[in-house]
Structure formats: C-alpha cells, structure tokens
Amino acid sequence: MRIVYQRVGGLDVHKKSVVATRMQITEDNRLEWETETFGTTTPDLLLLHDWLQEWRCTHIVMESTGDYWKPVFNLLESDFEVLLVNAWHVKHVPGRKTDVTDSEWLAELLLHGLLKPSFIPPRPQRALRDLTRYRTKLVQERVRIVNRVQKLLEGANIKLASVVTNIMGVSARDMLAALGDGETDPVLMAELARGRLRNKIPELEKALTGVVEPHHRFMLGKQLLHIDFLDEQISDISIEIAQRLEAMSLPPRSPDLRGDPTTEPAGADAEALPLTWSEAVALLDTIPGVNQKVAEVMLAEMGLDMSQFPTAKHLAAWAGLAPGNHQSGGKRYSGRTRKGNRPLSAIMVQAAWSAVCTKDTFLKARYHRLAARRGKKRAIVAVAHSMLVSAWHMLTYRQSYQELGGDYFDQRKKQSKISYLIRRLERLTGGSVSVKVQPATA
C-alpha cells in the first residue's frame, strides 16, 4: 500500500493516560515503531511532545474522545500537524482492540493516508466558541429558573401568567418583587402595571389574589435573585464576545511598519479586502430569524473561512442538518439526519422557528409547503438546512441575503399551478371551467 507520510504518531487518549506509538519508514524501506504510555498532566504531555520530536514526526493522529483530546491538542498543535479523527470512521477499518494496538493502528492508518481529519478551528475561534456555548447554557438555565417561578406561582394560586404575556416583563417583575417582599394587597400590586397593561388592572387584581405562604415568598425572592445574577452573567459574556469579535476583525500589522500610512493604500478596494468577523455578523443578521446572538454562535461554530467546506452540502452535513444516506440493494432506508455539530444545528433550528413566523418570506412558504406533506419537525429541519446553505453562499461570495418572497413557489410554475387548479374545479363541478383575467381595480 502506498506510503503517504514517512514519520507519524498515533495517540490513544484517555482521562489519565495517553498510549502513544511513533512510526517511521527507514532508509532501507523498513517499518519501525515504538509504543510508550504517558500521563495527561502538562509535564507528562511535554515529555510526549519531546518523545515524538525525537523521530521528527510530522503528523499526529488521535480520536475525538470527549474533551480528553483538548489538552493534548493544545500542546502539540504548534509543532505537529495534528489530525483529530472520528472514532466511528476508524472502527470501519478492521483491527484489534487494545490501548496499545489502538495507537499502533491509528499510526499505521495515518502512514497510508487512510484517515480524514475533523475540522478543528484556530485558537481564537475556539475561545469564541467556548464563550458562545457557555452563554447558551446560561440562557437555558435562566429559562429553567423562570419555569420554576411559574410553577411556584401556580402552587400559590397566583395566575399572573394568565394575564401578562411575559412574567419577567417590567411590570410583572415589579409585582413579583413586591410579592416576595411581603405585599399582600392585590390592588396595590396591580397598580404597578405600566403602559397598555393598565387596561387589565381588574384582571390583575384577580390574578394576584392567592394563597401565598411564607416559604413561597422566600423561594420567590431567591429565584428572582438567581435570575438577576444570570442576566448579569449573560450581559458580561455578550460584551466579551463583542470585544473578541472586534479584536479578531482588526487587520494584522507588521510591528516594524505599525503606524506607517504607506502600509495601507488609500485607494484600496473594500471588496478586495477579506471579510471581517464583525462584517460577517452583520451579513448573517440579514437572514430572517437570525439576530446578532444567533450570528455570533454560527460564526463561532463554523468559522469565517468557508473554503474548509467544499460546498454548502458539506457544511449542512457537518452540522447534522442534511438527510442521511442509507441505501442498499436498490432500497433506500432511514434518511434521518446524522449527529453533527449539535450547538450549530440547535441554534439553526431555533432560528428556523423564528423565520417561519415572519410575513411574506420564502422560508415561511417553504415551511408550510413541506409541513403539509412531511410534518412540522421535518419541515423545520429543512428550513434550517436552507438557512445554513444561504449562510455558506453569503460568506463565500460576500453577499447579503436575497429574499425570494412568499409567492416564490407559485410564481416559479405559475401556468402549471393555474392548470392544476382548473382541473380541480372541473372535477368538483363536473363541467368545463374557463378563466378570464380582468385588470385589478384601484
């Protein structure tokens, strides 16, 4: 079998140990390898680094086992070409199963170029990804606490959610704070309503009349404090994300030419400059259902450079939003989506639900067209797939979102649609139907 790399290393990574195999082709075309076991602390991983450099290994491969690969990758990425491979792909090539033979098998597969590496973003993007994922977890935790508040109110016979749309709104929040502080008069609490909510003061008085025990007030106060804490944390992380995006958007400058106006031509074409992270956020924000936070998560997960995905279909498959392909014996089996980048697929489905609520848009028309035949869940995944495909083209060609309109499917085959409806009318009436078009009156 053809040799692709001359000196490689294979790592079988665990929580407390790393079984490493270094392999090389000698001058007389003989295969040599050695296997050692190292710890996973930083000093041990530095010993692993030096051990691999002794044979001048150029490429290192390891499986993506949870988060255990990250410390190894952090210390090896600067001096080696590190390949992180999907364990599911490796298992399809037969081999023996022990820690030692796993590392040897990985090194041998890499030697012949039989492994396909996973996408590992550069270090600044990995930091941005950590921040956006943590913010998502905090938002989810805030939703859970708000649900607990609602459950607590129901247990105290407080039906505030039946009157107000959002129990965490400004007016409702003031009422809950007063309730937690010991207020018992529903009339006084209802007077805290603001704006159009004051039209519902009689309903609020009834809704705020309940059986509130001391432990209800205690728990409500703690839950409101927890929500305030989460709001502060989410706000701080959002500011940090915005600052990092701005710093990543700054063009690199040479230290010895810093401040020299000749290094930046005055007549430079803006279209010829590379797309910055801040510009990409504004670009993705033009997609229906995508706001600034969704755009930040999208960029943190898939990156700014779309050349790592040859086509939009590759990006959709990597995100886990493409139909599965399982076909054998001329029969097509389950087409359910495969596991991909779950944070990206989750945020795209969330954005898709927002997009299908917009008026007179292509995405809404696509959703209703598919939901009637395939169901709502399949339809929303298809809409998320379309949005991700649009994002790939927008970032690749630096173009804003082009809205096709809610009547796109009708206008695409207008005459065939008219013929179909005429045939339906003829079947229903039992006679011939003719259509006469008259100009619309003002």
State how far the Cα of 180 lies from the Cα of 38, in Å rounded to an integer: 56
Structural domains in the chain? Answer: 7-111 (3.30.420.10), 125-246 (1.10.287), 275-325+336-442 (no CATH)
Question: At 326, which amino acid appears?
Answer: H
Query: Averaged over 248-254, what is the pLDDT?
Result: 72
pLDDT tier for residue 259 given thresholds of 50, 70 and 90? very low
pLDDT digits (tens, 9 = 90+) for 388-438: 999 999 999 999 999 999 988 888 888 888 888 889 988 998 888 888 888
Structure-token pair, residue 324: 């599965």
Query: Averaged over 286-291, what is the pLDDT?
Result: 95
Query: Averaged over 206-231, what is the pLDDT?
Result: 95
The phi, psi pair for 38, rounded to 5°, reads -125, 160
pLDDT tier for residue 237 given thresholds of 50, 70 and 90? very high
State how far the Cα of 161 lies from the Cα of 245, in Å rounded to an integer: 38
* Average per-residue pLDDT for the chain: 89
Structure-token pair, residue 165: 């749309």
**pTM higher than 0.75:** yes
pLDDT tier for residue 34 given thresholds of 50, 70 and 90? very high
pLDDT tier for residue 363 given thresholds of 50, 70 and 90? very high
State how far the Cα of 367 lies from the Cα of 354, in Å rounded to an integer: 12
Select, from the ranges 141-145, 210-214, 421-425, the one with the highest average predicted confidence (pLDDT): 141-145
